[in-house]
Amino acid sequence: MAQNKLDPELQEERYRAPALDKGLDILEKLAEIEEGVSQAELAAALERKPNEIYRMLDRLVRRGYVVRTSVDQYQLSLKLFELAHRHSPMRRLASQSLPHLREFSRRAQQGCHIVIYERGALTSIAQVDAPGYWGLGIRVGARIGLLDTGSGHVVLAFASPEEQRYMIQESGELAGEPDEKLRNHLLQVREQGYEIMPSQQVEGVYNIAVPLLVSGENAIAALACPWVKHLDHMNSPSPESVVELLTATARHIRSGIPTR
């Protein structure tokens, strides 16, 4: 007996979700646009009327997927970026990185860790202690700031201006836009490819950090070392040597990260 089968087009029509489609259309269109756009411009790009997307756009702003600027323009936030790199992908990055972190720690005689941006701060997802009987480390799961750490400067430096503003706004560490001094410093970090700075939390410690990059010039994470001078190991690598070791370690880790 012949079975009744719906025509593929009819079956697709049967399971349509117009509101979901509209929201996805908005997100996909904003992902194609580098700068902010007005509601009218976005509607025109989607071949819709402005009032057709008003409610959906408002919900996307309230849920944090879209940012509404001070001049009533709309931009894609980093929330999709965060969702794409949570849990399984980050666990995979952490597990694949550990052998490289251990080798760095052995050669540098320092501890090291990997952090990712998450909801206005940085979260440590992998960490290896220094090989000796003492050292300084950041425990896995610890949350650290953006503006007062080397890792934070690296993550901000290897982000677009729009992403920088969003991350700083979400962090609550600044009331407004980053000032010229901070912008210039982040440009310097990006140009040199690393950050090295005295710790703002512990005296005598230097924050050394390099980016982990994927698909272009955006940092999905930072690899960092809280460098301390070992008086009991006179031949321990200098901060400058540790920068080179960190950079090489990041390159080895990146070689195992699939590009999107």
Q: pLDDT tens per residue, the chain (260 residues)? A: 444 454 555 555 666 788 888 889 999 888 888 778 899 999 999 999 989 899 999 999 999 899 888 888 998 887 776 666 555 567 778 888 999 999 999 999 999 999 988 878 899 989 999 887 777 778 888 888 899 999 999 999 998 887 888 888 888 877 666 678 888 999 999 999 999 999 888 888 899 999 987 666 778 789 999 988 877 666 788 899 999 999 999 999 888 755 44
Enter the tokens of residue 45: 């790009």
CA dihedral 75, 79, 84, 86 (to 10 degrees): 160
Q: Within 13 Å, how many C-alpha atoms sit on residue 225's CB side?
A: 31
Q: Which residues contact 128 (CB under 8 A, 6 or more apart)?
A: 98, 101, 102, 104, 105, 111, 112, 113, 137
Q: Which domains does the chain have, with CATH numbers?
A: 8-77 (1.10.10.10), 83-254 (3.30.450.40)
Q: Please list, in sequence order, all residues whose beta carbon lies within 8 angstroms of the beta carbon of residue 93, skipping any fewer than 6 positions away.
A: 114, 125, 126, 212, 220, 221, 253, 257
Q: What are phi and psi of 104, to 5 degrees?
A: -60, -45
